[in-house]
């Protein structure tokens, strides 16, 4: 299995505000879901198909981004698929989530602020050592 690739990249809009909680060990866990769409042709017409993807962002990165991850905000996410498995009422259950390594805030979701001016778009990359602050990089203006 050493030649397998576990990489997911997607752009979508948050379906609700993110939720920040802390593990029993004190690690921050920021969870949110995005809707990603695609157009597919069925018979002779095109139709939109939407998938909902659950994202998890850990540690200081999750803490730093939580305030910006609001319903309607468009984000680009790069991460890895992770399958959680548990037993509930004697039944084996599982859920696939994306463990985010990089999140880029793209746009939307700023209606509450009433601003039409362009916002700076920080990008946060999950660091290998989560005890250090995340790297926040502003986009190059005009791109």
Q: How far apart are CA 54 and CA 56, in angstroms?
A: 7
- Give how far Cα 47 sits from Cα of 36, 40, 53, Å: 14, 6, 20
CATH of domain 8-137: 2.40.50.140
Nearest to 63 by CA among 139, 127, 138: 127
Q: How far apart are CA 51 and CA 89, in angstroms?
A: 28
> Residue 137: its pLDDT value, please?
36
- In the numeric block, which tokens belong to residue 42? 């069925």
> Residue 13: its pLDDT value, please?
96
> Residue 125: its pLDDT value, please?
53
Decide: pTM greater than 0.95. no
pLDDT, tens digit only, all 143 positions of the chain? 678 999 999 999 999 999 999 999 999 999 999 999 999 988 899 999 999 999 999 999 999 999 999 999 999 999 999 999 999 999 999 999 999 999 999 977 655 443 333 344 455 555 444 443 344 334 333 33
> Residue 2: its pLDDT value, please?
78
> Residue 138: its pLDDT value, please?
40
């Amino acid at each position: 299995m050493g030649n397998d690739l576990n990489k997911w990249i997607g752009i979508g809009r948050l379906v609700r505000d993110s939720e920040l909680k802390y593990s029993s060990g004190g690690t921050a866990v920021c969870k949110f879901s995005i809707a990603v769409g695609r157009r597919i042709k069925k018979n002779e017409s095109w139709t939109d198909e939407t998938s909902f993807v659950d994202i998890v962002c850990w540690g200081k990165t999750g803490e730093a981004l939580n305030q910006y991850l609001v319903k309607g905000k468009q984000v680009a996410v790069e991460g890895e698929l992770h399958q959680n498995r548990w037993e509930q009422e004697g039944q084996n259950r599982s859920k696939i989530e994306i463990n985010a390594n990089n999140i880029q805030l793209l746009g939307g979701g700023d209606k509450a602020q009433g601003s039409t001016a362009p916002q700076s778009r920080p990008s946060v990359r999950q660091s290998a050592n989560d005890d250090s602050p995340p790297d926040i990089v502003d986009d190059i203006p005009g791109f």
